[in-house]
A = this chain, B = another copy of it.
Amino acid sequence: MIQSVDRAIRALGLLRSARGSHGLSLAQLAAGLELAPSTVHGIVKTLQAHGLVVQEPRSGHYRLGPELLKLGNVYLGTLELRSRSVTWSAELARRTGFAVRIGARTAGEVMIVHHEPRPDGSRQMAEAGLTLPLHATALGKAVLAFTGEEPGELPSMTADTVTERASLAEQLDQVRARALAAEQEEAVLGECGLAAPIADAESVVGAIGIVVPIAEWPVAESAIAAVREAARTISHELGATGWPAAR
């Protein structure tokens, strides 16, 4: 682990969590990293030269730069899971009438890599790049059930969030049995989810699911079948030999 590179990335992380405020001053950055201001200065100037951070002309504060968006976008483009899923997510949205989300498995989270709005046009901005907790979302449970990784913590997000490992394990057993994960107001009040895992030739790499307002829950059997079918089809395209579990 190279020290200066590590420090530079931690600086980016600090700028990320400082969202809302108008950037961070050099002194704040130095305090957060527990380094001398002059040390941090060299780091941010290097990042700035490449457009990863920008400096506000007036206050001198630093914030994240546009180059990061370009890099993030390329990451999206290289994701085979995403490119194979977009056409099917449109189909799923059409058949069910709900908004569709595709999530990719990342370290300890599920990241939304595609969002298909409801066909009726009710607009809601859920951008690609948002990450969801594994234990409190349908997409997350669909992934968690088949990867066997242990979530570190189970933070409570609403009154209905599952926070006990025992009951989560029980749920995951059902998910494995049905190849389908459900969630009712466990992450966002008024919002439910239904998702199925997507696998490639080796393991479960993500999930596809629908977002359902609580007023329209539970959904019809046909919608459940549609979610399963979309996940199965995409998995097949990604080279999965069996479904839901690989192998």
Contact = CB atoms under 8 A, between A and B. Distances in A.
Nearest to A13: B50
A96 to B, nearest CB: 17
A224 to B, nearest CB: 26
Interface residues of A, number: 55
Indicate the member of A5, A42, A49, A107 with the most B CB atoms within 10 Å. Answer: A5
A210 to B, nearest CB: 19
Given A5-B43, A5-B47, A128 B16 contact: no
Interface in A21-68: 23, 42-43, 45-47, 49-52, 57, 63-66, 68
A1 to B, nearest CB: 5
Contacts of A125: 86
Given A64-B71, A66-B104, A76 B127 contact: yes
A72 B106 CA distance: 16
A78 interface: yes
A70 interface: yes
